[in-house]
Chains A and B, each alone.
Chain A
Amino acid sequence: MEHKLKQKDLWTMFWRLNTMRITLNYETLQGVGFMRAIAPALAKIYPNEADLKDALKRHLVFYNSHVIGDAAILGLTAAMEESTPPDEKEGINALKTGLMGPLAGLGDSLVKFTWVPIVGSIGASLAFSGSIVGPILMFVLYNIVNIFGRYYALVYGYKAGIDFLNKNQKTNAIQRISTMANVVGLMVVGALIATVIKVSTPVKIAVHSNLTGKVGGNTIALQAMFDKIMPSVLSLLVTIVVYLILKKTNGKHAAMLIIIMMILTVFLKYFGIV
């Protein structure tokens, strides 16, 4: 099938895709941004003004997804607008709404929950040693996925068009990649618990020695004991406690929890416990 949109039009869409989130609002979230992003494509697809107005209005509805998901959906929607017969246009919105949830989940778990923590911890460990390479490396690695991911998702969504959906129905690709991304993300998170969270205690316990009969002659560092049980065991405990608190409160009071933890740490420092 001949594509109506040329490379130049895709660039316009890409540019507008990148500025989509600026219009984020509580009424339609990214609805305005999506309409704005697809408008130039619609102008090419519908030379007739009445059709164009209908199409623009069709996309001015609630919309929200992850930014790479946005790209794929934007491309796919343009392809659909181009290929569907006039009486089936309403299906396009059903498709958008159907895809935005799963693609948001996929984008979040691939980029936000996995890639950003990975490049962040690599960059931070270099930066701690005073190397400017840390932030530069993070910038490059993060933006390779950030920029190219968006661009290719847009072009792929448009070129593959409806094939994308048929293929996905057969291979269940979105679901499968999500499952994999979730596993990778969780292992990275597990690793971060041990490497990023640092809790230790300088407390020493006086032990009774049978030889001298004196209390306090020997001391055992509590931290050494913890390390024998399991390295980073305190980090794991703190994380699990925080997780349970957040789970109980549905994650609503994360900011409050951070402040409480700061105050608590200062108190513990005063008593020489941490």
Chain B
Amino acid sequence: MKTIIITIMAFIFGIDDVSFKLFRRPLLIAPLIGWVLGNVQAGLVIGATLEIMWMGIGNVGAYMAPDLITGTIISTSLAIMSSTPHTSLSTMVATAVTLAVPTSILAQQLLVLIETVNCSLNGWAKHLADNGDVKGTVWLIYPPAILTGLARAVPTLIALEFGAGAIQQVIKSLPKFVIDGLSTSGSIIPAVGIALLMMSMIKKFELWMFLILGFILAAYLKLEVLPITLIAIVFAFLYEAATRKNMQPIAQASETVIKVDGEEEDTEGDYDL
């Protein structure tokens, strides 16, 4: 019964991920899974771990990121379902982290497949446009929406139906250092997401300074992310104003050239000083 509920959730969250995007992060999904499975605490901690692990991972441009939705649902469910009353929370987190990586990457391949299949929508849309059929366009989203939902629901159903027992055996037989190592890796892996963010944000060398500033405020002064954001807004204004001034002389120079023909040359000249 719980498997069916989670499969339906996977279907809904799968469609939400490509439409309203209300629940598309691990921390928003995992506690709900935990709630269905009767272990909200595990859901919260697993969700927080995965949220941080996948920080910075998301689709940028045409790049398709690992499928966090399927990955979070399967890994959280299996980690909780394969636990016994004696299983510690850290073992559950380690299980979830270990499962989240391969499931997200495998599920990503399904999304790539759907994007390819969706190419056929262009023909349908063209047909509608040729006929000026505005009412008909409403249907364009239904087949791909169901497809996307199934791409999340079917792997979830299979994994939950056949995975829990096997996972339990594997976790039992693994030596302690493997479990510990895997759960430690959960707090090192965010380096990948953060590095990906850095790649798309550091466009100029001087921007490294802001990264260092943020790091110093957190590492030495132990400030939380929110106060650092507020400080960052101040620096952002200053930096933007400073770099904009560099461009102004050019703008003013060209303005002055135009103004030479007019009469207001003098007042502009004074303003320059």
Binding site for B on A (CB under 8 A): 18-19, 21-29, 31-33, 35-36, 39-40, 42-43, 49, 52-53, 56-57, 60, 64, 67, 104, 108-109, 112-114, 116-118, 120-125, 127-128, 130-132, 134-135, 138-139, 142-143, 146-147, 176, 179-199, 230-232, 235-236, 238-239, 242-243, 246-247, 251, 254-255, 257-259, 261-262, 265-270, 274
Contacts and interface: CB of A to CB of B under 8 A. Distances in A.
Nearest to B120: A25
Contacts of A29: 62
B226 interface: yes
Nearest to A48: B132
20 contacts: A22-B15, A24-B118, A25-B118, A40-B134, A56-B134, A57-B126, A120-B27, A182-B201, A184-B229, A186-B210, A187-B232, A189-B214, A192-B190, A193-B191, A193-B218, A195-B225, A196-B55, A196-B190, A196-B194, A247-B199
B158 interface: no
Contacts of A134: 27, 44, 48
B171 to A, nearest CB: 14
B contact patch SS = helix
B186 to A, nearest CB: 9
B201 A185 contact: yes
Interface residues of B, number: 108
Most buried by A among B19, B28, B225, B244: B225
A266 B116 contact: no
B45 A127 contact: yes
Per CB-CB distance, the 7 closest pairs between chain A and chain B, nearest first, are: A190-B214, A266-B181, A269-B181, A25-B118, A187-B214, A187-B232, A194-B218
Nearest to A247: B199
B198 A243 contact: yes
Contacts of A257: 192
Given A31-B122, A113-B200, A192-B194, A25 B218 contact: no
Interface of B: 15, 18-23, 25, 27-28, 31, 40-41, 44-45, 47-49, 51-52, 55-58, 60-63, 66, 97-98, 101-102, 105, 108, 115-119, 121-122, 125-126, 128-132, 134, 137-138, 140-141, 144-145, 148, 177-178, 180-182, 184-185, 187-192, 194-203, 207, 210-220, 223-226, 228-229, 231-233, 235-237, 239-240, 243-244
B128 A56 contact: yes
A60 B125 contact: yes
Contact of B192 (A127, A246, A274): A246
Contact of A123 (B27, B118, B199): B27
Given A67-B21, A135-B47, A189 B180 contact: no
A190 B180 CA distance: 27
B134 A176 contact: no
Contact of B116 (A26, A131, A187): A26
Contact of A258 (B177, B192, B239): B192
B240 A246 contact: no
